[in-house]
Amino acid sequence: MTLEEAKKRIAELSQILEDANYSYYVLAESNITDQEFDSYLRELEDLEKEFPLLAKSNSPTKRVGGLVIDKFSKIKHQIPMLSLPDVFNEEEIKAFDERIRKSGYNPTYVCELKIDGVSGSFHYEDGNLITGATRGDGITGEDITHNVRTIKSLPLKLKKKISIEVRGEIYMAKETLAKLNRERELNGEGILQNPRNATAGSIRQLDSSVAAKRNLDTWIYHLPNPLDYGIKTQYESLEFMKSLGFKVNPCNRLVKNISEILSYIHEYNEKRESLPYDIDGVVIKVNDLNMQQSLGFTSKYPRWAVAYKFPALEVLTKLKDIVFTVGRTGRITPNAVLDPVLVMGSTIRRASLHNEDYVREKDLRIGDVVSIRKAGDVIPEVVEAKLERRNGSERPFKMIENCPICGSKLSKKEGQVDHYCFNPLCPAKHIEGLIHYVSRHAMNIDGFGEKIMEDFFNLGFIRKIPDIYHLEKHRKDLIELEGFGNKSVDNLLEAITISKSNSLERLLFGLGIGGIGDKTALLLAKTYKTIDELASKSVLELQEKKDIGPILANNIYEYFQNEENQKLIEELKELGINMTYTGEEEVENDLLNEKKFVVTGTISFMGRDEIERILEKYGAHSSSSVSSKTDFVIVGDNPGSKYQKAIDLKIDIWDEEKLRSILEELKEI
């Protein structure tokens, strides 16, 4: 075969295979048999092997995967990928509609199913798929092109030779997930809790043949640059994307008013169980794109669309036991121990019963059949006992009288319903210190909320700081815990390991030495560089530093003189915790050095703490109130009165754009 002939045949075969893919995966009808498909594919593979220069990156042979990357690169979204504000009931939908009408419009809407997957952005040039990216933080996402190419319903080549970006949801069908989980169970691997997690895990694989095996799918629903194609409404853009070969959901519907919106919601709430993929609500979008444009955006969301979330599902299970835990304040909580049930994709084993009165009002008895409710990511709750299911074997609830940790007599605070252990020496008091130790400004161990630490304490896994570093021993038990899968346990253990090399100031703050806030901890770490150096200083020496007064100096000195504390530090050293200052040195910058600034309102692309941390690195100082001494005020969405004050005092105001350009210049984003 000549090169010319091969080129022609490769083009022919690619076309046949892509048409077959389109018919099967987008239109759900097949135009050729599996055998025919396989034989064309094999012929194409052979030709590409023989003429490697003719093998295109968009060849249908790439759909089976095989490309392995060593890390994910970042892709900056030309237009930010925003999410939508949630609404939960009729009133909130009406309020949304009224807000738009108040702006002088008479809108029609498009109702779309809210697919429970992971959103993606797909770029085409001259009709060829070039990149696929995740949403990431909305500003930059991860390049997942190698995996996206394996999604059969996503065209590698469009029906027109145009350049375009489309966005939509990558998802895993219910059946695919069930099959995958059956295989995982056989292989002794953990179960993937819901299609969203399964999808996210699949598209974040470095090896595209893994993603290829997961049979991911797409629904395309958003065209970020409609005006470039002369499109005037959302509904037209859906039609347009469909005509290019994308899989566009047939349930999308143009509606004229609230009552049509409500009947759409009602219809799909009923149909939801029978759909082959998971949906968690309905997205309502203003149809007219001009109207959309003039309604604009808040810093986080478009003003022209909302996501209605379906109400929680209820399921029945058995209340096996009620166990008591102690919180960081000594508060006692009864907890329902349940026969594990799957509610909306996650297995529920436990639910808080809050306090004695709560259990009595619901008249919960051990052995009862109870209904459980869980909405989205919200904490599960026990709704009620099914009285008609009682058979007399149920045991009445009995409140405990003594602390389950130290045995002291429990009592209530005046006029309150909760029981407390008031023993100041109760080991449960350590929970507070432990929570502080792992918190964001201290050792910053991701995945350790307050609740988790309370649970670990009550289970006896963590009773003192060094236990955190032995958590590995309880790996098996942890995986069993509510909300903890294999992956989150791995993440937590990894976060613990990573935190060992934190710079000294985090440890100093985390130890909870009286009077040492995060700023003082940083000052001490920068000054003395190692914990041993700091521990060797006398009260007078410590006071030499301008911000350290006599009380603080004394606290520090006493802390390091205490034998228990010395033992703790030795133990932590042995566990490999870094005790040296390795933080960033301040960088000279004229614009920021010694400048006082205030942040007010929400900045869409970065948290306030992060902004402060970065600017402080360049010598600026954050403060919480605006005065004539303030040099500049950073203003985000919904700013407070500080914004007005800054205007009144004629202080330099930085909006999001300005902040972003400065951070970009500093190469911080």
What Cα–Cα distance (Å) separates residue 10 from each residue in 52, 55, 201?
Answer: 11, 8, 33
- Mark the segment that binds ligand IVH (CB under 6 A) among 47-55, 111-119, 346-354, 398-406: 111-119
Which residues inside 117-146 make contact with ligand IVH, applying CB under 6 A? 119
Binding-site size, ligand IVH (CB under 6 A): 14
Closest CB to ligand IVH among residues 119, 333 = 119
For 312, phi then psi, to 5°, come to -65, 155
Contacts of 474 (CB under 8 A, 6+ apart): 459, 461
Q: Compute the least distance from the CB of residue 196 to ligand IVH, in Å.
A: 9
Q: Compute the least distance from the CB of residue 302 to ligand IVH, in Å.
A: 5
Q: Compute the least distance from the CB of residue 105 to ligand IVH, in Å.
A: 18
Which residues inside 615-654 make contact with ligand IVH, applying CB under 6 A? none
- Which region holds residue 28: left if phi is over 0, alpha if psi is between -120 and 50, else beta? left
Q: Compute the least distance from the CB of residue 198 to ligand IVH, in Å.
A: 15
Q: Work out which of 62, 63, 146, 222 binds ligand IVH, going by CB under 6 A.
A: 222
662 part of the interface to ligand IVH, by CB under 6 A: no
Instruction: Specify whether the CB–CB gap between 114 and 279 falls below 8 A.
Output: yes
Q: Work out which of 16, 75, 84, 344 binds ligand IVH, going by CB under 6 A.
A: 84
Residues 166-195 as x/- pattern, contact with ligand IVH by CB under 6 A: ---x--------------------------
Taking residue 451's Cβ as centre, other Cβ atoms within 10 Å add up to 15
Q: Compute the least distance from the CB of residue 174 to ligand IVH, in Å.
A: 16
Q: Which residue is nearest to ligand IVH (CB)?
A: 119
Q: Would you give the DSSP letter of residue 586?
A: P
Q: Return the amino acid letter for 521.
A: A
Q: Compute the least distance from the CB of residue 307 to ligand IVH, in Å.
A: 5
Question: Pick from 376, 380, 378: which is nearest to 317 by CA?
Answer: 380
Contacts of 458 (CB under 8 A, 6+ apart): 325, 326, 404, 405
310 part of the interface to ligand IVH, by CB under 6 A: no
Which residues inside 249-308 make contact with ligand IVH, applying CB under 6 A? 283, 302, 305, 307
Q: How far apart are the C-alpha atoms of 146 and 598, rounded to whole Å?
A: 43
- Mark the segment that binds ligand IVH (CB under 6 A) among 113-121, 317-325, 382-390, 470-478: 113-121
Closest CB to ligand IVH among residues 117, 485 = 117
From the candidates 71, 74, 114, 519, which is the catalytic residue? 114
Rg for the chain, CA atoms, rounded:
30
Closest CB to ligand IVH among residues 62, 114 = 114
Q: Work out which of 18, 97, 112, 356 binds ligand IVH, going by CB under 6 A.
A: 112
Closest CB to ligand IVH among residues 261, 452 = 261
Question: Pick from 589, 594, 586, 580: which is nearest to 507 by CA?
Answer: 580
Give one DSSP letter per residue of 26-68, joined into a string.
ISS--SS-HHHHHHHHHHHHHHHHHSGGG--TT-GGGGG---B
Q: Compute the least distance from the CB of residue 261 to ligand IVH, in Å.
A: 14
Q: Work out which of 22, 25, 221, 235 binds ligand IVH, going by CB under 6 A.
A: 221
Taking residue 416's Cβ as centre, other Cβ atoms within 10 Å add up to 10
Q: How far apart are the C-alpha atoms of 95 and 88, rounded to whole Å?
A: 12
115 part of the interface to ligand IVH, by CB under 6 A: yes
Is 114 considered catalytic here? yes
Contacts of 4 (CB under 8 A, 6+ apart): none
Question: Pick from 492, 480, 417: which is nearest to 449 by CA?
Answer: 492
Q: How far apart are the C-alpha atoms of 426 and 409, rounded to whole Å?
A: 11
Q: Work out which of 82, 177, 428, 521 binds ligand IVH, going by CB under 6 A.
A: 82
Q: Compute the least distance from the CB of residue 77 to ligand IVH, in Å.
A: 11
Name the site residues for ligand IVH (rule: CB under 6 A): 82-84, 112, 114-115, 119, 169, 221-222, 283, 302, 305, 307
Q: What residues are labeled active site?
A: 114
